[in-house]
Homo-oligomer: A and B are copies of this chain.
């Protein structure tokens, strides 16, 4: 699975794997793909440095990248406390009531809460970049809009390619104007923040909109046949996130969540604002139902919602309160039915891709 982009990055397969787990990212690169470590959970720069050191020791010199969450719009002089103060009391009470109704215990003294939101703040993302640029990363991806111009310039000075996620051709064009190198076309069926246009329509639209810039297809991809479909649509590679969550190298810290992921069907996700205030696909749970219920207070805009629910989400995860327990994941979750190693996922992707190409050749009447 070799495209111009995979050759340029020096990887065997045009498969980009996004994951919050260093062990998964390293295994993806070792399997011939391009591992991308999600940085959003690293609030302390030292923690990120520690894990990038570990990556360096485990990628066998193969290329890898980093994914940050950096808003393009800078809000000057606003602290986390300022944002906290904007949250209405009624919403705080709704969180308390919902947790109480499901008997969710408190966190123990000293247990960290809220890493989910803190990583979204620009100051934190910039701290992550200061660390990351000391390592030989080959790609910097931004999950939230175009990265600021100075960040793009800084990456390019170091020979680091910059990627940004887009849910529409319009977003993709904006990224291209911002000087980024790769657009990740994130379809409706993808996990995490998504728009409403499905991959089958979005991928070729984005390819047309930003070509010759390379496009990675994201959303709905977990098999080699789906890789072939995405590449048929003009993508120069695929961007997979969900499928790694149930690999043996992943460390969800929650057997109950792993069980839920393995049991979920493609219809068990929902595009909800419950997690961050922007629509993000995730497992449908009693928690997302509560936020999406018209009888409730509804969600707050980003970044308020994320800050509001950060501790609650930590409590739910820590104590594995099953009805509320969820995670961002795409519709491909229906295909994630067993725990497998990253290499096994790759073997499956490459053999399925070969099968699909052979099938298309037969249909096309080629020898």
A334 contacts partner chain B, Cβ-Cβ < 8 Å:
yes
Taking CB atoms and an 8 Å cut-off, the chain A residues in 1-39 that contact chain B are 1-3, 14
Taking CB atoms and an 8 Å cut-off, the chain A residues in 161-215 that contact chain B are 168-169, 187-189, 195-202, 204-205
A356 contacts partner chain B, Cβ-Cβ < 8 Å:
yes
A233 contacts partner chain B, Cβ-Cβ < 8 Å:
yes
CA of A202 to CA of B310, assembled, Å: 33
Cβ-defined contact, A266 with B202, below 8 A = yes
With A201-B189, A366-B357 as given contacts, are A225 and B220 in contact (CB-CB < 8 Å)? no
Cβ-defined contact, A198 with B187, below 8 A = yes
Q: How large is the interface on A (under 10, 10 to 19, 20 to 34, 35 or more residues)?
A: 35 or more
* Distance from A348 Cβ to chain B, minimum over Cβ atoms (Å): 13
Cβ-defined contact, A197 with B2, below 8 A = no
* Distance from A212 Cβ to chain B, minimum over Cβ atoms (Å): 14
Other-chain residue from B188, B189, B363 in contact with A1 (beta carbon distance below 8 A): B363
Tell me which of A266, A354, A361 has the highest count of chain B C-beta atoms within 10 A of its own C-beta. A266
* Distance from A43 Cβ to chain B, minimum over Cβ atoms (Å): 34
A77 contacts partner chain B, Cβ-Cβ < 8 Å:
no
Q: In the complex this chain forms, how many copies of it are found?
A: 2
Question: Which residues does chain B contribute within 8 Å of A225, judged by CB atoms?
Answer: 204, 232-234
A105 contacts partner chain B, Cβ-Cβ < 8 Å:
no
Query: Assuming A198-B219, A232-B357, what are 15 further A-B pairs, CB within 8 angstroms?
Result: A1-B363, A2-B365, A168-B266, A188-B188, A195-B267, A197-B266, A198-B220, A201-B220, A201-B330, A201-B335, A226-B233, A229-B230, A231-B360, A232-B359, A294-B294
CA of A359 to CA of B4, assembled, Å: 12
CA of A154 to CA of B230, assembled, Å: 40
CA of A200 to CA of B231, assembled, Å: 12
A195 to chain B: closest residue by CB: B267
CA of A14 to CA of B226, assembled, Å: 20
Cβ-defined contact, B228 with A232, below 8 A = yes
Other-chain residue from B3, B265, B364, B365 in contact with A363 (beta carbon distance below 8 A): B3
CA of A335 to CA of B359, assembled, Å: 27
Cβ-defined contact, B354 with A364, below 8 A = yes
* Distance from A199 Cβ to chain B, minimum over Cβ atoms (Å): 5
Question: Which residues does chain B contribute within 8 Å of A204, judged by CB atoms?
Answer: 223, 225-226, 335
Cβ-defined contact, B198 with A360, below 8 A = no
Cβ-defined contact, B200 with A226, below 8 A = yes
Question: Which residues does chain B contribute within 8 Å of A1, judged by CB atoms?
Answer: 363-364
Taking CB atoms and an 8 Å cut-off, the chain A residues in 67-124 that contact chain B are none
23 contacts across the A-B interface (CB closer than 8 A): A1-B364, A2-B363, A14-B363, A188-B198, A189-B201, A198-B200, A200-B229, A200-B230, A201-B220, A201-B266, A204-B223, A204-B225, A204-B226, A226-B233, A231-B359, A232-B356, A232-B357, A234-B359, A356-B360, A357-B361, A357-B366, A361-B361, A361-B366
